[in-house]
Structure 1
Amino acid sequence: MISNEQQTEQGWEAPTPLGTNGPLPTFPTHCLPDWVGAFVEAVAEETQTPVDAPACVALSALATAAGGRALVQVRGTYTEPVNLFTVVAMPPASRKSAVFRALTSPILKVEQELAERVKPQIVEAEMARSVAQGVAEKAKSKAVGSKGAPDALADASDAVSAVEDIQIPVLPQLVADDVTPERAASILCDQGGRLSVMSAEGGIFQILAGRYSGVPNLDLFLKGHAGDMLRVDRRDRTEHVDSAILTLGLAVQPDVISEIATGPGFRGKGLLGRFLYSLPESTVGSRKVDPDPVPEDVAQRYEERLMRMALHLFDWTDPQRLQLSPEGDQARLDYARELEPRLHPRHGDLGHMSDWAGKSVGAIVRIAALLHLADNPVDGYRLPISAETMSAAIEIGRYFTAHAEAAFDHMGTDPETERARLLLDWIQRKQPARFSVREAFSGLPRGTFRKVPDVLPALETLESYGWIALEPPPPKSPKGGRPPSPSYQVHPQIAEAGA
């Protein structure tokens, strides 16, 4: 874990910053379909943003095109929908909006095309309802004039029912931005159970925490990720869909990643475990001032393919059922077996974030399905998801795992790392050349550690990162007695920083 690059005169290696495992991986764009990967790389070049940003937005765009219209039949009764929650953290002035516009523009064009298709149906339905209402009014008047004659009452009842039977289509809406959970639920129900919230800001987290209502409202986002049934009782109507499919594609400032851990119920109810996190290194300060624009043929191909995928899948009422090939399923099982020991609460390196890691196998199935549909938008349900596609999804999944570890560290959700950080803060304040375990225990606020041995895991963490080094135990005293408390030497860099 310690860097081998720089060494001090005393023989110390340069310490690794606490809570990081070195540079995070870059999004593997070669795992995306050619037409997606080429556009992602071109947008990254034109906007001078890390390739991770357009890649994550591209996955959300694919999920928007397919969400609610396909699911993966994994095995038995186990299915996965194909929607995703992605969030990429980028500092201010990182051109997040430009990335979003480029990647989501075809989706908005699909919305417009679908709206033009539906508008004549809306006009026809409104006219039919207006005529039916006129007939119903006459029938009611006739029933009143007949003083309740059975035939007249039956005719009036039939006329009123005819009005209620005429449903006016709603304008298709695939994407929302600044929207409350209540409004999002209504839109999702109106749209037959599908919606995508795409935003270049992180305000949605404040809205979920109750910015407007004062009460946290996470139900739609929890159910919408899993594809569960949604029923919302309003004052004037009841909204219901058998399967709510919600996609989230967000870009936020890095500080938001730290703040969302404190959102009421965000961790406890499982919201944080549903996001695929990306924390790319900022390019601000090292960007080209005259980058190459996106080639026209690359942009046109992306637009045509994404619109084709969205338009074709929109017309499906029952979702397509995608199948895994035997080889693809075996790759999934191999990944799951490799992952399982890492979830152990005491021995696994992902145990502190098992709420996230436990969903990662499902996430790679969803990603594999999106890659499959991107290559086969028309007949994807006829072709099984191959081992090659599943392997590409697993590689993307490993990328997200590394970034999730960093995100959860920023959130302070690893208790051992947090305690090690508190201990390092004490060392940096006091700047001792050496200290004993008992001195460390006594120097920290009461309650940080219950007893002296509880300090040892935090000390081991600091030692593994190169901040301290355990001294050899002194020789036993011939007089016997209790051995002295173990002592540690402190990295000279700490003293140099305070000088």
Structure 2
Amino acid sequence: MVMAVAEFTQTPLDLPGCLALAALSTAAGGRAEVEIRPGWREPLNLYTVVAMPPGSRKSAVFAAMTAPLVEAERQLIDAARPRIVEADLARKMAVKEAERRAIDAANLRDPAGRAEALAAAAEATLEAEKPVPALPRLIADDVTTEAAASLLAEQGGRLAVLSAEGGIFTTLAGRYSSGVPNLEVFLKGHAGDLLRVDRKGRAAEHVAAPALTLGLALQPAVLTDIAKMPGFRGRGLLARILYSLPENTVGRRQVGAPAVPGPIDKTYTSRLTRLVLLLADDNEPHRLRLSRDADRQILELERRLEPRLAPHADLAHITDWASKLNGAVARLAGLLFLAEVLPTGWGEPVPARHVDAAARLGHYFLGNALAVFDQMGADPTVGDALAVLEWISRVRPQSFSRRDAFTALSRSRFRKIADLDPVLQLLDDHGFIRPEEQPQRAGPGRRASPRWSVHPAAAETAETAQC
């Protein structure tokens, strides 16, 4: 399905691939966990974020990969509606009965009879206070943290925030709370830690093991913005996310690509829907265990990763993220296993090949995390200079004018020609280009656009920088 959707939409495999993982997480989150070894369990829910520029067909891919979840939610609602109607009617009748018994008890004068009537009225009142089950809900989009906590409590601890935009980050940063960040629900919703929410005028909400899924497809600029939001890095929210920065295919896409074949779409929809429905009513999560070979693989991953977290090692600057990598690999292995053995093999141990596949995904996400955290902390001028270098490596001019560069480059990056000046100066400082001598003007007229000669090795250096 991932390959077929990527072909049809002419998008990188990364986009539908990450959304497929988010869809699996939505189906299994809160209903299954993997035990790596005694004392270490990981819930099977993920936070995934794919960043691509505008016009990348994110919405089309998003709709294709999440459509089975919408269908599963509809089926859950249809199945639950009669029970909810019945429970609501029973509650209304119980309220009436409790009122009647309370009046009867108040009118009795005999102490013994009154005590008995009060006990019956109390019992009827307790019956009337039984909550009516909420309609099943799998997916939220533009949701506040308060609403997310309430939905988690209503839905037995499971909820997915899936969106083709990144507005949830603005909400977490305090859009509706006077600029005060509110991250608690999304921090505990990833780890599965006890969540208690107390609000004035409302009953306290309690979720023993919340399991949130986050699946976003947003624009790269949002990643730079969230790095500046208070608490996002320091409290660990950014360390919980699996990032993807796919190659931009806009401008090189095939027109008239073949649609997703019907059998593939049907099989994907039926299997994902079935996984949701099979796990929906389970109050206690299924516990998956690793095979001996799979456990040895996880241990080997831990041994290889640990030295890289040392203060002067290559992952020291993203220790917060990299420290969670092995847990993420275990979660990925559990999801891949569930997807394959549906629905009968859940009692079998997770084999080593699923850990191997998850480790390769972990390596992919590690590379992307390094790029994302570099981008989050980067000087914008450096990013703009890399864009100019990419143009140089593609066009390979021996020389160019400032106007040549401005005409060729994106207006979303360089809105006016003067925006190029600090970038060209940076490239000059590093020896990629050199200003050419300006000819003397013989008469009136507009001055010629400044020109630069390109270093012969600039294109090759630019290609290396992109890799």
TM-score with structure 1 setting the length: 0.76
Cross-structure match for 2:349: 384
Superposition deviation, residue 493 in structure 1: 3.0
Cross-structure match for 1:491: 431
What's the secondary structure of 2:346's corresponding residue?
A: helix
Residues of 2 paired with 1:55 and 1:309: CA distance? 18
Cross-structure match for 1:183: 147
Superposition deviation, residue 312 in structure 1: 0.8
Q: 1:260 aligns with which of 217, 223, 226?
A: 226
Cross-structure match for 2:279: 313
Cross-structure match for 1:331: 297
Superposition deviation, residue 381 in structure 1: 2.9
Q: 1:101 aligns with which of 59, 63, 66?
A: 63
Cross-structure match for 1:59: 21
Change in CA separation of 1:420 and 1:102 when aligned onto 2, cut-off 3 Å:
closer
Residues of 2 paired with 1:167 and 1:216: CA distance? 32
1:223-257 deviation line (CA, Å, top 9, x unaligned): 00101110101221010011011010001101111
What's the secondary structure of 2:288's corresponding residue?
A: strand
Residues of 2 paired with 1:321 and 1:162: CA distance? 34
* 292-301 vs 207-216, greater mean Cα deviation: 207-216
What's the secondary structure of 2:250's corresponding residue?
A: coil
Superposition deviation, residue 421 in structure 1: 6.0
Contact between 1:323 and 1:381, CA under 8 Å: does it hold in 2? no
Residues of 2 paired with 1:304 and 1:65: CA distance? 13
Residues of 2 paired with 1:255 and 1:221: CA distance? 21
Superposition deviation, residue 498 in structure 1: 4.8
1:91-146 deviation line (CA, Å, top 9, x unaligned): 11111111111111111111111111111101111121122112111111112212
Q: Does 1:123 align with 2:85?
A: yes
Cross-structure match for 1:244: 210
Superposition deviation, residue 419 in structure 1: 13
Q: 1:150 aligns with which of 111, 115, 126?
A: 115
Residues of 2 paired with 1:191 and 1:329: CA distance? 33
Residues of 1 paired with 2:452 and 2:196: CA distance? 59
Cross-structure match for 1:294: 260
| Structure 1: gaps spanning 5 or more residues | 1-38, 429-466, 469-488
Residues of 2 paired with 1:199 and 1:419: CA distance? 27
What's the secondary structure of 1:73's corresponding residue?
A: strand
1:148-178 deviation line (CA, Å, top 9, x unaligned): 73222222222212212x3311111011001
Q: How does 1:11-30 map to 2 (within 5 A)?
A: none
Q: How does 1:17-416 map to 2 (within 5 A)?
A: 39-147=1-109, 149-164=114-129, 166-214=130-178, 215-235=180-200, 236-346=202-312, 348-412=313-377
Residues of 2 paired with 1:115 and 1:367: CA distance? 29
Q: What is the Cα-based RMSD across aligned positions, in Å?
A: 2.2
Residues of 1 paired with 2:275 and 2:432: CA distance? 59
Superposition deviation, residue 211 in structure 1: 1.0
Cross-structure match for 2:465: none
Superposition deviation, residue 490 in structure 1: 5.5
Residues of 1 paired with 2:234 and 2:58: CA distance? 30
Contact between 1:173 and 1:195, CA under 8 Å: does it hold in 2? yes
Change in CA separation of 1:354 and 1:419 when aligned onto 2, cut-off 3 Å:
farther
1:254-292 deviation line (CA, Å, top 9, x unaligned): 111111110110000011111000001111111122111
Superposition deviation, residue 380 in structure 1: 4.0
Residues of 1 paired with 2:126 and 2:240: CA distance? 44
What's the secondary structure of 2:34's corresponding residue?
A: strand
Query: What letter is aligned with 1:271?
Result: L
Contact between 1:372 and 1:380, CA under 8 Å: does it hold in 2? no
List structure 1 segments (4+ residues) > 4 angstroms apart after TM superposition. Answer: 418-422, 494-499
Aligned residues: 394
What's the secondary structure of 1:237's corresponding residue?
A: strand
Contact between 1:312 and 1:377, CA under 8 Å: does it hold in 2? no
Residues of 2 paired with 1:125 and 1:372: CA distance? 37
Query: What letter is aligned with 2:189?
Result: G
Change in CA separation of 1:69 and 1:375 when aligned onto 2, cut-off 3 Å:
same
Residues of 2 paired with 1:65 and 1:368: CA distance? 15
TM-score with structure 2 setting the length: 0.81
Q: Percent identity?
A: 51
1:283-334 deviation line (CA, Å, top 9, x unaligned): 1111122111000001001001111111111122110010001111111111
Contact between 1:202 and 1:250, CA under 8 Å: does it hold in 2? yes
* 378-387 vs 242-251, greater mean Cα deviation: 378-387
Contact between 1:90 and 1:252, CA under 8 Å: does it hold in 2? yes
Change in CA separation of 1:141 and 1:367 when aligned onto 2, cut-off 3 Å:
same
Contact between 1:86 and 1:250, CA under 8 Å: does it hold in 2? yes
